[in-house]
Amino acid sequence: MSRKRGRALLAWLTVTALAAALLIAGGVWVAGYFRDSLAPPLAIGCTATVGTGTYRLAVDQTENAALISALSVQRGMPARAASIALATSLQESKLRNIDYGDLDSVGLFQQRPSQEWGTAEQIMDPVYSATAFYNVLEKVPGYVDMPLNDAAQIVQRSGFPQAYAQHEGLSRAFASALTGQSPAALNCTLAPATPVGTPKTLEAALDAVLGPLPVTSTAGESSTTVTVPVPATMGWEVAHWSVANAQQFGITKVSYDGRRWDRDANNNGTNAGWQSAGTAAEPRHVVLSMAAPPAP
């Protein structure tokens, strides 16, 4: 081979190698781009895991489920009452406080002003409508032991009398978690927190559904620590209620009984749930972290 042809071949091999390297690098970049752009979005929502069953609700549904469940405990009713109420609301409104329905039905339970459930304005208040439901349910003889569907139908008098039974598994799981019967059973995956609540608004919300619980708070640079003293029988109920309402109050962490729910840990796609807090928890206190607005 002549010297001239050798130089030409070397140049050709160099150009070919460079082109191949660029092609490979470009392929890696394109693959990375599409991997990131086509990655599944954060699975926003909440789950209740009791026994071998895991059930899922959207965040707004979970907030309403927490309210309904908390009111049953405040009244001294058993977890079965919360299961019946949740199944009823799931069937009637999908656990959403809607201002429309069949005929004049509105609210979480689709109660009708024309059937003496109250005014439309009253029924649209979730605390009022859940309380009205429980007022009737607790007068049903033996409701705790009868089939869930039958108890719900006696209260509601629905045109679809067998419809409530289909929601029993989900309702029992969320009721068990949200009434505190099943520790560390409720988990929520949420978008990054923003400072949307204050200790005072949190205390008012707790008071509305669980009764007076004195709240103390300590402000930090990026978060506010809130301590809620609770009776031992209410600890997991308050802890789960706090997770269920983390979106609307900007809650980032909830600790109780040596376990911690960390909002950021769930945001990385690992669905971490409740983990060991690493240190002994202060007894009979639920400790929260709330996102704080940046310093001016």
C-beta of residue 289 within 8 angstroms of C-beta of residue 195: no
- pLDDT score for 30: 37
Residue from 241, 237, 247, 238 nearest 290 by CA: 247
Determine the residue type at 202: L
Answer with the residue of higher pLDDT: 5 or 200.
Answer: 200
Largest CA distance in the chain: 106
Three-state DSSP at 44 gives coil
pLDDT for 23: 43
pLDDT the model gives residue 24 = 43
Q: Is residue 22's pLDDT more than 90?
A: no
Q: Is the pLDDT of residue 59 over 80?
A: yes
What is the mean predicted confidence (pLDDT) over 116-125? 97
pLDDT the model gives residue 280? 56
pTM score, whole prediction: 0.84
Quote the CA–CA distance of 273 and 182 in Å, as a whole number: 14
Confidence check: pLDDT of 78 > 80: yes
pLDDT in tens, 123-144: 999 999 999 999 999 999 999 9
Rounded average pLDDT over 34-57: 76
Q: Provide the pLDDT confidence category of residue 271 given band limits of 50, 70 and 90.
A: low
Which are the contacts of 81, defined by CB distance < 8 A and separation ≥ 6? 72, 75, 134, 137, 138, 143, 144
Q: What average pLDDT does the structure give for the chain?
A: 87
Q: The dihedral of CA 32, 36, 39, 42: what is its sign?
A: positive
Q: What is the pLDDT of residue 52?
A: 93
pLDDT tens string 184-233: 999 999 999 999 989 999 999 999 999 999 899 999 888 999 999 999 89
CA distances (Å), 30 to each of 17, 242, 290, in order? Answer: 20, 42, 39
pLDDT value of position 265: 86
The highest-confidence range among 29-33, 230-234, 246-250, by mean pLDDT, is 246-250
